Amino acid sequence: MNRVRLLIFNAALGPLDYRVPEGMAVEAGSVVVAPLGPRQTVGVVWEAERLPTAPVPDAKLRPLIAVLPVPPIRAELRRLLEWTADYYCAPLSAVARMVLASGGALRGPATMTEYRLTGGAPERLTPQRRAAIDALEGEQATIRELAGIAAVSEGVLRGLVNQGVLEPVLVDCDRPYPRAAADHGQPELAPAQAEAAERLVAAVRERRFAPFLLDGVTGSGKTETYFEAIAESLRCARQTLVLLPEIALTEAFLRRFEERFGAAPVVWHSSLKSTERRRAWRAIAAGPENGGAQVVVGARSALFLPYANLGLIVVDEAHEVSFKQDEGVRYNARDVAVMRARFERIPAVLASATPALESLQMAEAGVYERLVLPRRYGGAQMPAITLIDLTEHKPERGRWLAPPLEAALRERLERGEQSLLFLNRRGYAPLTLCRNCGFRFKCPNCSAWLVEHRLSRRLACHHCGHETQPPATCPECGEPDCLVACGPGVERIADEVAELLPGARIAVATSDTLNSPEKAAAFVAEAEARAIDVIVGTQLVTKGFHFPELTLVGVVDADLGLEGGDLRAAERTYQQIAQVAGRAGRGSKPGEVLVQTRHPEAAVIAALAAGDRDAFYAAETEARRHAGAPPFGRWAAIIVSSEDEAEAREAAKRIGATRPHLPDVMIVGPAPAPLALLRGRYRHRLLLNARRSAEVQQVIRDWLGELTFPQGVRVSVDIDPYSFV
Biggest CA–CA distance in the chain, Å, is: 85
Q: How far apart are CA 214 and CA 202, in angstroms?
A: 15
Q: How many CB atoms lie within 10 A of CB 415?
A: 12
Q: Do the Cβ atoms of 435 and 570 come closer than 8 Å? A: no
- The SS3 assignment for 637 reads strand
Q: Of 429, 424, 583, whose CA–CA distance to 510 is shortest? A: 424
- pTM for this model (two decimals): 0.89
Domain boundaries, the chain: 3-99, 111-172, 191-377, 380-425+488-621, 428-487, 633-719
Give residue 703's pLDDT: 95
Q: How far apart are CA 395 and CA 410, in angstroms?
A: 16
Domains 191-377 and 380-425+488-621 share a fold: yes
Domain 633-719: top CATH class? alpha beta
Q: What is the DSSP string of 266-333?
A: EEE-TTS-HHHHHHHHHHHHH-GGGT--SEEEE-GGGGGS--SSEEEEEEETTT-GGGB--SSS--BH
Architecture of the domain delimited by 191-377: 3-Layer(aba) Sandwich (3.40)
Q: Which residues of the chain have pLDDT under 50?
A: none
* Amino acid letter for position 483: L
Give residue 565's pLDDT: 60
CATH of domain 380-425+488-621: 3.40.50.300
Q: How far apart are CA 223 and CA 314, in angstroms?
A: 10
DSSP strand pairing (266-268 vs 384-389): unpaired
Report pLDDT digits (tens) over 441-493: 999 999 999 999 988 899 999 999 899 998 989 998 988 988 898 999 999 99
Report pLDDT digits (tens) over 13-51: 889 999 999 999 999 999 999 999 899 999 999 999 999
In CATH terms, 3-99 corresponds, of 3.10.20.600, 3.40.605.10, 3.40.50.620, 3.40.1440.60, to: 3.40.1440.60
Give residue 564's pLDDT: 61
Give residue 706's pLDDT: 87
